[in-house]
Amino acid sequence: MNTRQFAVGSRKRATARVWLIAGSDERTVNGKPLDAYFGRQDLVRGALSPLSVTGSLDQYGLRCTASGGGLSAQAGAVALGAARCLVAVNAELRKPLKDAELLKRDPREHERMKYGLAKRRKRFQWTKR
């Protein structure tokens, strides 16, 4: 078995390069611990969800570099990269990760700004006179 596995995850405009390290307890994003980087426990739980679904939180460590997007998108990108790493390490983990929908890239993107509108869909107030 490899001691390190690499994969890339993405969500919205964020991308994350994830290294899964066997036998390590390191969990960092851009050199900071997950708690310090994301600042919210729901984002940390979301980023570590592939490890918790497969029951391998104590077996692997994560080292990630994330860029682009916001913190929520970066946490989703880290989760997708970690899930892809786990499948590359052990193909039997594909079924539980797929059942939890962690191997799917979320296709939702920002809607483009249209001319003549205040925001993406919001219009200016109509006046008769």
Per-residue pLDDT of the chain in tens (129 residues, 90 and over written 9):
458 999 999 999 999 999 999 998 899 999 999 999 999 999 999 999 999 999 999 999 999 999 999 999 999 999 999 999 999 999 999 999 999 999 999 999 989 999 999 999 999 999 998
pTM for this entry:
0.89
Q: Which two tokens stand for residue 112?
A: 């483009």
Provide the residue count of the chain.
129
Alpha-carbon distance of 129 to 126, in angstroms, equals: 9
Domain spans in the chain, listed from the N-terminal domain onward: 4-99
Phi, psi dihedrals of residue 45, rounded to the nearest 5°: -60, -40
- CATH level 2 (architecture), domain 4-99: 2-Layer Sandwich (3.30)
Q: What confidence score (pLDDT) does residue 31 get?
A: 95
At 54, list the tokens: 């497969």
Question: Which residue type occupies 51?
Answer: L
In whole angstroms, give the CA distance from residue 49 to residue 100: 9
Indicate the helix (H) or strand (E) that contains 4: strand 4-11
Residues 6+ apart with CB under 8 A from 103: 80, 83, 84, 87, 94, 97
